[in-house]
Structure 1
Amino acid sequence: MVVISCAYTEQINPSGASPLLKQDQIWRGLQRKIRHAQDFVPVITGTDVLEDKENEVTRVAHFKQMGDNPPHSEKEVCKSYYPTRVDFWQENGALITNTVSDGPGGEQDFNMTYTFEWRHPDVEKGSEEHKRLEAQYRKQAQGAVHNSIEAMRKMAINGELD
């Protein structure tokens, strides 16, 4: 069994970004992402919320075909830790974490990091498949972070995060 871990970080409010996202807007964006993942992640076609209680949401995210992977659905338990982190636990033990951290630049200098821990019981460590998956996940991590920040920025422009 192989466990593939990767992470990617991007600055939320780089120089020239408009509007600058505030911490509460970012948090509201992450909470919306839990319940409407398709607005943030292009490979997700829909989200069904099964249970919504304080700081924990159980949902099913529906994925379109990605490369060799056919369309599928993943049940996830999403745990929120205001104002910095959301954990997405999948039934097979995989974990995706979305973390907002402060940067050195002051009040609105935030970074978004997504950390992924994917489990592949049928993949041999060091195999070509292992290497292929690592490269694929690194690329997907970059896209996931960037797309999420851009979605939040558009939502802020439209007044959806106030």
Structure 2
Amino acid sequence: MATYNVSWVEQVNAAGNECVLTLDELWQGCLLLARSPQIFTSAISKCELDADDGNNITRTLYFSEGPQTELKQSVSLSPGTKFECESETGNRVTTMVFRGLSGSIDDAYLSIEYAIPIANMGPDLESAKQSYAAKAKQNLVEGVKTMRELKAQGKLG
């Protein structure tokens, strides 16, 4: 099956950022995103964890708006580095925490990748590609912003 893939990476602690996120804090943010995605977006009104063995989660997302009211997903966690969500539609979102070459705990990067089956993208493929690329980028930027807010509130670490 052909897929459309788009990915973005962000240097989390670029010069000028007052709130530095360590690799561990980024991972703690990712764990919150995996188990409580409604913290990161108003589009999700609720998340129910149907199963959670620590590294594999089955969850049901409930949406506050849009044509779909709920979505089942499987989440695989690779502790400290990656989590991957695959929905029943075949759409996949992968989020990864990266260490920079300096080796410093605050030389950190976060990435997001969308892998969407072409069959799920509708008749206007180019418009759908632009929309998914913009959404992936927005989710990455907003996700890091939310993690900074959570750190400031003492909810990470």
User: TM-score normalised to the size of structure 1?
Assistant: 0.87
| Partner in structure 1 of residue 5 of structure 2 | 5
1:94 to 88, 91, 97: 91
> Is 42-51 or 12-21 further displaced after alignment?
42-51
CA deviation profile, 1:69-112 (whole Å, cap 9, x unmatched): 52432111111001110010111222110011122344111111
Structure 1: where are the runs of 5+ without partners? none
Contact 2:121–2:128 (CA<8 Å) still a contact in 1? no
- Measured after TM superposition, the shift of residue 43 of structure 1 is 2.6
The DSSP-based 3-state class of the residue aligned with 2:38 is helix
| Percent of aligned pairs with the same amino acid | 22
Contact 2:23–2:99 (CA<8 Å) still a contact in 1? no
The DSSP-based 3-state class of the residue aligned with 1:54 is coil
**Residue 147 (structure 1) aligned with residue 137 (structure 2):** no
- Measured after TM superposition, the shift of residue 50 of structure 1 is 1.0
Q: Supply the AA of the counterpart residue of 1:76.
A: Q
Contact 1:18–1:153 (CA<8 Å) still a contact in 2? no
User: TM-score normalised to the size of structure 2?
Assistant: 0.89
Taking a change above 3 Å as real, the CA distance of residues 147 and 16 of structure 1, as seen in their structure-2 partners, is same
- Measured after TM superposition, the shift of residue 120 of structure 1 is 4.2
> Is 115-124 or 104-113 further displaced after alignment?
115-124
1:134 to 129, 142, 152: 129
Aligned length: 156
| Partner in structure 1 of residue 72 of structure 2 | 75
- Measured after TM superposition, the shift of residue 2 of structure 1 is 5.4
| Partner in structure 2 of residue 157 of structure 1 | 152
